[in-house]
Amino acid sequence: MAPLSPDDAACVGQVAALLRGARSILFVTGAGLSADSGLPTYRGIGGLYQHTDPEDDLPIESLLSGTTMRDRPDLTWKYLRQVEEACRGAGPNRGHAVIAEMERHFERVWVLTQNVDGFHQKAGSQNVIDIHGTLHTVRCTRCRHAAEVADYAGFPPVPRCPDCGAVARPAVVLFGERLPARQLEAYQRETARGFDVVFSVGTTSVFPYISAPVLDAYHWKKPSVEINPGDTDVSEFVTVKLRAGAAAALDAIWAAYNH
């Protein structure tokens, strides 16, 4: 992990002080957290296509859409497989571990993540709202069959349900699809309760349901912390801004809290 800048190091103690007065914490996480595990930062769910569109001359938002999954599942699966291969062999980093340790320490800690890699759960976090789903559950598009998978190695170009033969797909939110009901219910329930501190970690916060917890904290005069090297849609509203990598910043904050 890269060392923190002097400005960020000065902010660490401020964040540790906020935590000492907290009983409940929300972590809103995005691709910048998993980037410290070696994963590319994704454009939406797509990833790997930050500056160019894929070779099929269609934007990734179209290829990884619910419409294309229905009409041309071979195209959508081609790019889903590329996304999964980018995740394969990687695992949670120190940032994920710190969040899991905080869940065991504080009274109430939740994670709202846009990431579909499952790293929070692998690191030991129990209270995870994976609002965009997970690559590691594959379900039938017709019946109720679903299965947990480690990876997509050995999958045919278009996987089929073993029960009914219909096209199978990962349990992720593709472009143009609604958020899953179970995760949305948990999101609404927990954010309605409020949090003493809200962290935004490694996300540009472009989706309204991702920026909302930080904006709510600002409205209710609750502290918030952003960890992101760049400026985002919520940067002007947070109490403390660290322009550092997610894992390094979280590790330093937790060390300062426990010092």
> Please, are residues 69 and 158 in contact by the beta-carbon 8 Å criterion?
no
Please identify which of the residues 96, 105, 120, 132 carries the catalytic annotation. 132
> CB under 8 Å to 59, separation ≥6 — which residues?
53
> CB under 8 Å to 138, separation ≥6 — which residues?
146, 147, 149, 159, 168, 169, 170, 171
Give the number of residues written for the chain. Answer: 259
Q: Is 120 a catalytic residue?
A: no
Q: Which residue has the tokens 């989706």?
A: 207
> CB under 8 Å to 42, separation ≥6 — which residues?
31, 48, 83
Active site residues: 132
